[in-house]
Amino acid sequence: MKNFTSVHDVPQIDALVKKALAYKADPFKDKSLGAGKRIGLLFLNPSMRTRLSTQIAAQNLGMEPIVFNVGQEGWALEFEDEAIMSGSTVEHVKDAAPIMGNYFDILAIRTFPSLKNREDDYSELYIKQFIKYAGIPVVSLESATLHPLQSLTDIITINECLKASPLPAGRKPKIVLTWAPHVKPLPQCVANSFSQWVNAWGQADFVITHPEDYELDEQFTKGATITHDQNAALEDADFVYVKNWSTFKDYGKIYTNDPEWMLTNEKLSVTKNAKVMHCLPVRRNVELSDEILDGPNSIVTQEASNRIWAAQAVLSEILSAH
Ligand code: CP
């Protein structure tokens, strides 16, 4: 694996999941793989889980992680080629990225979308410019449109649950991605990425449910069943993934905050005692109810804890290839 920016960088999802679960069973089994190597973790936006789990993953492989909060502590970066830098940006990525490429062996970057201009955000300029100019492997810690480390974690967690409680022979798990209300317009990254990975994994009946006009980009959802009827979608579900996203077509808007879309135990009663997932952070009693988050169906802590093993498997693949 050279870079890790989407599911397309992964030759075999099942093999990567197996590798991650092997690290969970024995975290230090490759503790010399990254000896003498450094990973730069660049954050243009806030993070808790991604920042901590990726540092732990790197250290488990013997690598030294160095965190740089570019958004708060660094020079404001310019990403447009041929920009006349007479505004607020101070340093061009064309100048900064090759230096980081000499400081580090792997560069990992978190950026968020502006949610103002869909074409700009969906061009993934920031991560593409780092790939173009850094000259070393680049890992997405969440980009403008995707969150692949989160999605790998989600597939790992689903596999883990299915191994612990197998379904009857021949029955595929039903996985439902449901939109949830939120007070702020959020990116589509997690929902896009989850859809992309579940579709590529290909081992589930996948249903997406959201209010009218909240359709995601078809390039990620194609293959899923899409419905505006949340209650019908939830019937017989084995896993329910809860996430808010802002509108894609009329980009970055909130059309509704209908609290009826928040998952409750009553709504969950039509599922097959479904496990409930969320990438976190979550706004309690807006996006997801206390009774679900504090109840037996929630696997959000297990899911977030698995972020270490997803990151470790990805870094291991990159280190092994270089
Ligand atoms: N799920 C996730 O990426 O969490 P952080 O934003 O805290 O890293």
CA distances from 226 to 28, 190, 218, 260, 292 (A): 42, 17, 11, 18, 24
Do 94 and 49 belong to one domain? yes
52 lines ligand 1 (CB under 6 A): no
The rounded Å distance from CA 53 to ligand 1 centre is 10
Residue 164 lies in a domain: yes
- Bridge partners (DSSP) listed for residue 70: none
Do 154 and 287 belong to one domain? yes
Mutational test site, ligand 1, from 109, 141, 157, 280, max ligand atoms within 8 Å of CB: 280
DSSP state of 39: E
Do 126 and 164 belong to one domain? no
Give me the pLDDT at residue 206, please.
98
The rounded Å distance from CA 96 to ligand 1 centre is 25
Residue 224 lies in a domain: yes
The rounded Å distance from CA 307 to ligand 1 centre is 9
Nearest residue to 215 (alpha-carbon basis) of 184, 253, 242:
253
Give me the pLDDT at residue 150, please.
98
Find all residues with CB under 8 Å of 166, minimum gap 6, and list them: none
Nearest residue to 224 (alpha-carbon basis) of 251, 188, 253, 200:
200
Give me the pLDDT at residue 136, please.
98
Do 163 and 98 belong to one domain? no
Do 155 and 141 belong to one domain? no
The rounded Å distance from CA 276 to ligand 1 centre is 17
Q: What sign for the dihedral angle of Cα 233, 198, 41, 310?
A: positive
CB of 174 within 8 A of CB of 207? yes
Ligand 1 atom closest to the Cα of residue 50 is 8
Positions in the chain short of pLDDT 70: none
Do 132 and 165 belong to one domain? no
Do 15 and 124 belong to one domain? yes
The rounded Å distance from CA 82 to ligand 1 centre is 33
Nearest residue to 60 (alpha-carbon basis) of 319, 321, 322:
319
279 lines ligand 1 (CB under 6 A): yes
Q: Is 223 left (phi over 0), alpha (psi -120 to 50) or beta?
A: left
Residue 63 lies in a domain: yes
Rounded CA gap, 194 and 175, in Å? 11
Name the residue at shortest CA distance from atom 1 of ligand 1.
279
Provide the number of structural domains found in the chain: 2
Give me the pLDDT at residue 72, please.
86
Please report the DSSP string for 133-186 in residue order.
HH-S-EEESS-SS--HHHHHHHHHHHHHHHHHSPPSTTPPPEEEEEE---SS--
Give me the pLDDT at residue 322, please.
80
Please report the DSSP string for 232-249 in residue order.
HHHTT-SEEEEE----TT
Residue 1 lies in a domain: no
The rounded Å distance from CA 49 to ligand 1 centre is 5
The rounded Å distance from CA 85 to ligand 1 centre is 32
Do 85 and 224 belong to one domain? no
Residue 2 lies in a domain: no
Do 92 and 175 belong to one domain? no
Residue 156 lies in a domain: yes
Give me the pLDDT at residue 71, please.
78
Do 197 and 278 belong to one domain? yes
Do 154 and 228 belong to one domain? yes
Q: Which domain holds residue 223?
A: 150-304
Ligand 1 atom closest to the Cα of residue 304 is 1
50 lines ligand 1 (CB under 6 A): yes
48 lines ligand 1 (CB under 6 A): yes
CATH number at residue 70: 3.40.50.1370
Confirm whether pTM is higher than 0.75: yes
Residue 203 lies in a domain: yes
Name the residue at shortest CA distance from atom 3 of ligand 1.
50
Do 127 and 193 belong to one domain? no
Give me the pLDDT at residue 178, please.
98
300 lines ligand 1 (CB under 6 A): no
